[in-house]
Amino acid sequence: MYRAGSRASWSGRIDSIDDFEAFRWHQWIEPVDLEREETASPDGRAKGTPLRGVAIIGFRCDEGVKRNQGRAGARLGPAAIRAEAANLPCSFDRSLALYDTGDVDCEGTDLEAAQALLGRKVEAIRERGWFPVVLGGGHETAYGHWLGQRARPGNLGIINFDAHLDMRPYPQGGSSGSMFRQIADASEAEGRPFRYLCVGAQKRSNTVALFRDAAASGASWLLARDINEGGSASAYPAIDAFLASADSHMITVCADVVSSAWAPGVSAPQPLGLDPETLLRMLKRSLSSGKAVGLDICEVSPRADGPDPTASLAATLLFAAVNSVAELAGLGR
């Protein structure tokens, strides 16, 4: 269910072979096998030293989307996003490493085993001192990501950019629509607070009962309608207040938060979703606090994407996240 990173996943244009300022990601990224025992990071640093790297891992999975009766195809998302990201410029200092740590592949219908494995791989990335970026996969990816972050000390918040609250009941097992309810239940069982903000929620995509149950759990949300009317700045006070309430936070992006005019290749297209620049500004705001501990980008479905605009958007979000991490580490350009 796990395949190590490979250079075969990265190829593209070469403008120079020795001038780093002309490098593109495919020239800089290093493949890593997380199942190798290492006493130090590949760049020579001991584990646990300050962040100097961003590690990408894919989650090839459609099972959660299928269980949620959505449009399948997101298991192809990691490869499509990598292809779009390969030619991105290295807009950071060469002291920042980029790693591709491979893919977790959901075999058959065993979603739970795949999520558990993803959690262990995210934890392995964290142990090496790197910032994890998970490329989904259906949005069930977020639960596996959380499993890898849950052991962090203090209060862990979750910012979800999404048209859906994804807090559905799960009597038949988890899906791409239930993971935040699963996290709420697990947090309650462990005596931990549940801190969750959904940014871009759509009334047309969530029942009244889902809003009611989300409120009862302590979750909060910002409606896409209000963000579209007021712009990204109108969301900043709520985002800032949420960031202040947690010791750290993970960020998860479901591509269907964006209007289908820009993101048609998703499991559940949203004609009245956010525009990409609004999302990008809010994502950067969420990263700028310095409390972000990981990011996942989910539900890019290449089968429905035509000339790959949704995968290209995901690569743009990835580019912004890596540059934000670099700037926080004093390695921006």
Domain range holding 197?
Answer: 2-328
Domain count, the chain: 1
pLDDT of residue 45: 52
Query: Which residue is associated with the tokens 């395949």?
Result: 3
User: Looking at residue 320, which CATH number applies to its domain?
Assistant: 3.40.800.10
Q: What is the pLDDT along the chain (333 residues), one digit of tens a residue?
A: 999 999 999 999 999 999 999 999 999 999 999 998 654 455 555 554 545 899 999 999 999 999 999 999 999 999 999 999 999 999 999 999 999 999 999 988 999 999 999 999 999 999 999 999 999 999 999 999 999 999 988 999 999 999 999 999 999 999 999 999 999 999 999 999 999 999 999 999 999 999 999 999 999 999 999 999 999 999 999 999 999 999 999 999 999 999 999 999 999 999 999 999 999 999 999 999 999 999 999 999 998 887 888 999 999 999 999 999 999 988 888
- 4-59: pLDDT as tens digits: 999 999 999 999 999 999 999 999 999 999 998 654 455 555 554 545 899 999 99
What is the 3-class SS of the chain, one letter each residue? Answer: CEECCCHHHCCCCCCCCCCHHHCEHHHHCEECCCCCCCCECCCCCECCCCCCEEEEEEEECCHHHHHCCCCCCHHHHHHHHHHHHCCCECCECCCCEEEEEEEEECCCCCHHHHHHHHHHHHHHHHHCCCEEEEEECCCCHHHHHHHHHCCCCCCEEEEEECCCCCCCCCCCCCCCCCHHHHHHHHHHHCCCCCEEEEEEECHHHCCHHHHHHHHHHCCEEEEHHHHHHHCHHHHHHHHHHHHHHCCEEEEEEEHHHEECCCCCCCCCCECCCECHHHHHHHHHHHHHCCCEEEEEEECCCHHHCCCCHHHHHHHHHHHHHHHHHHHHCCCEC
Residue 310 lies in a domain: yes
254 within a domain of the structure (yes/no): yes
- Residue at 27: amino acid letter: Q
Q: For residue 333, is it within any domain?
A: no
- The pLDDT of residue 39 is 45
Residues pairing with 97 in the sheet: 53
The reply to whether 114 falls in a domain is yes
